[in-house]
Amino acid sequence: MKRSEIALVVVLSASIVCACSMVWVKLKSLGLTNIAATTTESTTEIVQTSSVTETTAIETDLIQGPLTDEEALEGFTNYLHFKIKDLQEIIDEGKYPCIWGIASSDEQKIMIMFKSYTGALFRYHIDRQTGKTYVTNYVVETNSYIRTKENFNLRNYLDKKPTPTPYAIKPSGEPTDAPAKPKISISNAVSKTAVVGGAKLPYRIPKVTISGKNTDAANKKMKSDLSKYALKGDNARGITYSYHTNSKLISILVHISDNDNETYDTYKVYNIAVSSGKIVKDSTAVKLAGSSTKKFFARVKATYKKFGAGDGAPDSYAKKAKKKNLKRVSYKYLAPYVAKNGHLCFVGYVNYYGGAEKGYRVFDATSKKIIA
């Protein structure tokens, strides 16, 4: 190479370095300590970056397979809400929208684009298998992306509390229309009064409607299961229900009351996926609730250890009941659901009251307490 050509390369390299170190836009009030934003066409401020990176180790036993696009988007959304303390206020206010979504994905990588209210663009590069994530930041002056010091493991945020559905973003960084959220309604398929032991009790069978989804099979199943309980006579029962919905799951807890005090109340759970309108199996419901079977079962065990055999049970009977209950930590004896407070709860078939009785009881797996 000629000496003049070498000099030209040096000059160009120095120009690029200078351009990359030019002015940046700081993400004010977003709570991000490790993310640097670039300039917009009309805003010029100085960047403040941190050398601190997030190195929280992921538990290897939680890795159950490659991340899906849906899991990556949910985990990233949780990450933003965890890092940006007032993100929900920014979203609700609507003046300076923060938008994000999957820009591209293949078998190895998922890339999520994040656009701040300043107009700054960031790309989050996620390893589909490990969840390891690094960040690149768009620099206006060079019309290119450069890597920042921010890095973390997306899997660490999969089980955080579910957050609002984000806007989608085109690969160009331009926002698309926000996906329409399906409308969900829970009404009564049957609304009557049962007479049980001379007492009048409500008899309600739920019906689910999700816009754009066929819920006929789910409604038919619930009506078929619950209609076997009569309004009068030996099989008469009162039926009530409670429910909780989020963007992915509808959980319905049905309470079948026997007011004669000769037998114990019964409970049934129906979990319906918003995406399909169909009743899903228990393990899927736990996943849609933001947890995993392994974590859920660990909470059930901790709950049973505290529950024992009922109030006032002798220690020896309590130990026997606990032992029996801990052997029933499987979906054969458990029905998970999400309660109105957002807690992951379950109906469990257990021994109680000194181990002499057994039946269905309702527990909160989040607070590890009995509900009913």
Residues 324-355 have pLDDT tens digits of 888 989 999 999 999 888 889 999 888 875 55
Q: What is the CATH number of the domain that holds 222?
A: 3.30.565.40
- The domain tally of the chain equals 3
Does residue 166 fall inside a structural domain?
no
Residue range 85-127, pLDDT digits in tens = 777 766 666 555 678 888 899 999 999 998 876 778 899 999 9
Q: Is residue 362 predicted with pLDDT exceeding 80?
A: yes
Query: What pLDDT is recorded for position 139?
Result: 87
Crossing angle for the helix pair 293-307 and 315-326, to the nearest 10 degrees:
170
Sole residue written with tokens 């030996």: 234
Are both 225 and 307 inside the same structural domain? Answer: no
pLDDT > 90 fraction of the chain, expressed in percent and rounded: 30
Query: What pLDDT is recorded for position 153?
Result: 93
Mean pLDDT of 129-158: 91
Are both 127 and 188 inside the same structural domain? Answer: no
Domain boundary among 280, 297, 312: 280
C-alpha distances out from residue 254 to 129, 239, 335, Å: 39, 7, 12
Among the ranges 5-9, 28-32, 245-249, 294-298, which has the highest mean pLDDT value?
Answer: 294-298
Query: What pLDDT is recorded for position 237?
Result: 87
Does residue 167 fall inside a structural domain?
no
Does residue 171 fall inside a structural domain?
no
Are both 324 and 367 inside the same structural domain? Answer: yes
Residue range 235-289, pLDDT digits in tens = 788 899 999 988 889 999 999 887 655 556 889 999 999 989 999 999 999 998 8
Are both 10 and 96 inside the same structural domain? Answer: yes
Are both 141 and 196 inside the same structural domain? Answer: no
Does residue 63 fall inside a structural domain?
yes
Are both 309 and 273 inside the same structural domain? Answer: no
Q: Is residue 10 predicted with pLDDT exceeding 70?
A: no
Are both 17 and 42 inside the same structural domain? Answer: yes
Are both 358 and 292 inside the same structural domain? Answer: yes
pLDDT > 70 fraction of the chain, expressed in percent and rounded: 69
Are both 245 and 315 inside the same structural domain? Answer: no
Query: What pLDDT is recorded for position 175?
Result: 56
Domain extent, residue 60, equals 3-157
E strands within 59-196? 99-105, 109-115, 121-127, 132-139, 144-153, 184-196
Are both 276 and 320 inside the same structural domain? Answer: no
Domain boundary among 157, 188, 207: 157
Q: Among the listed ranges 46-50, 281-285, 306-310, 318-322, which one has the minimum average pLDDT value?
A: 46-50
Mean pLDDT of 150-160: 87
Query: What pLDDT is recorded for position 180?
Result: 66
Does residue 344 fall inside a structural domain?
yes
Are both 251 and 297 inside the same structural domain? Answer: no
Beta bridge partners of 195: 200
Does residue 172 fall inside a structural domain?
no
User: For residue 310, what pLDDT band results from cuts at 50, 70 and 90?
Assistant: very low
Residue in 279, 270, 268, 286 with CA at minimum distance from that of residue 343: 286
Q: Among the listed ranges 133-142, 166-175, 338-347, which one has the minimum average pLDDT value?
A: 166-175
Query: What pLDDT is recorded for position 16?
Result: 37
Mean pLDDT of 70-87: 83
Who contacts 203 (Cβ-Cβ below 8 Å, separation ≥6)?
A: 190, 191, 192, 193, 194, 229, 231, 237, 238, 239
Task: Kindly state the tokens that stand for 103.
Answer: 């820009």
Q: Name the residue with higher pLDDT: 43 or 109.
A: 109
Are both 79 and 146 inside the same structural domain? Answer: yes
